[in-house]
Amino acid sequence: MSEKHNHVEEHRDDEASKLGMWLFIFTELLLFGGLFIVYSIFRHEYYQAFRESSLELSVTIGAINTIALLFSSMTVAMALTAMQKNDKKTALIMIGITLLMALVFLVNKYFEWGHKIEHGLYPGSALMPLLDRGHLLYFSLYFFMTGLHAFHIIVGMVLLFICLFKVKNGSIHPEKYALLENGALYWHLVDLIWIFLFPLMYLIS
């Protein structure tokens, strides 16, 4: 009777954690949805300035990062499937590849941001107040929105590192994988946000 009760409690805990993750994802979608609306309004109002500013971004780097995140969404889903099938080795490999793709994204973002900072295009620089309103709004939104997204990438990496450790030591197994499932859901959110960010920021022209 006690074992059955414990199993029911664990099942309830898993369902509660999954519901909590979905609620969190919903609030994040509201946050970024609001930012996308603000961006779209200003883009419509200052279309020419936004188009000219977007030419300062590297479409190649943006495309590589898009491919990296799409691929990482596939690998994290494969990790979850492997864990459900009790294939621990494949799950570890897939989580590792997901983390590698996240690192590729951050390294590319570091070089992209570095190029802008080198040319004085960053919040608080002496050059920013000299820009006209349209260019100023574009680069302010660019740094804020891509910076917030990069922060979510880092949080997702921490979560997946924890999952990697727990899969390795057996804390996550075929009967208990809610943490990995939530980690995968969060990572899909990160990917989804970038799918909107990339064309909005990089493909204006």
Domains in the chain (CATH in brackets) are: 2-202 (1.20.120.80)
- Alpha carbon separation from 111 to 72, 137, 147, 193 (Å, rounded): 20, 22, 13, 21
Could you give the angle at which helices 178-202 and 59-84 cross, rounded to 10 degrees?
A: 160
User: 80-92 b/e with 16+ CB inside 10 Å = b?
Assistant: bebbeeebbeebb
Give pLDDT tens digits along the chain (205 positions).
444 444 444 555 667 778 888 898 999 999 999 999 999 999 999 999 999 989 989 999 999 999 999 999 999 999 999 999 999 999 999 999 999 999 999 999 999 998 888 877 777 777 878 888 999 999 999 999 999 999 999 999 999 999 999 999 999 988 888 899 999 999 999 999 999 999 999 987 6
Compute how many other C-beta atoms are within 10 angstroms of the C-beta atom of residue 40: 11
Rounded Cα distance between 130 and 91, Å, is: 51
Question: Which residues make beta-bridge pairs with 173?
Answer: 176
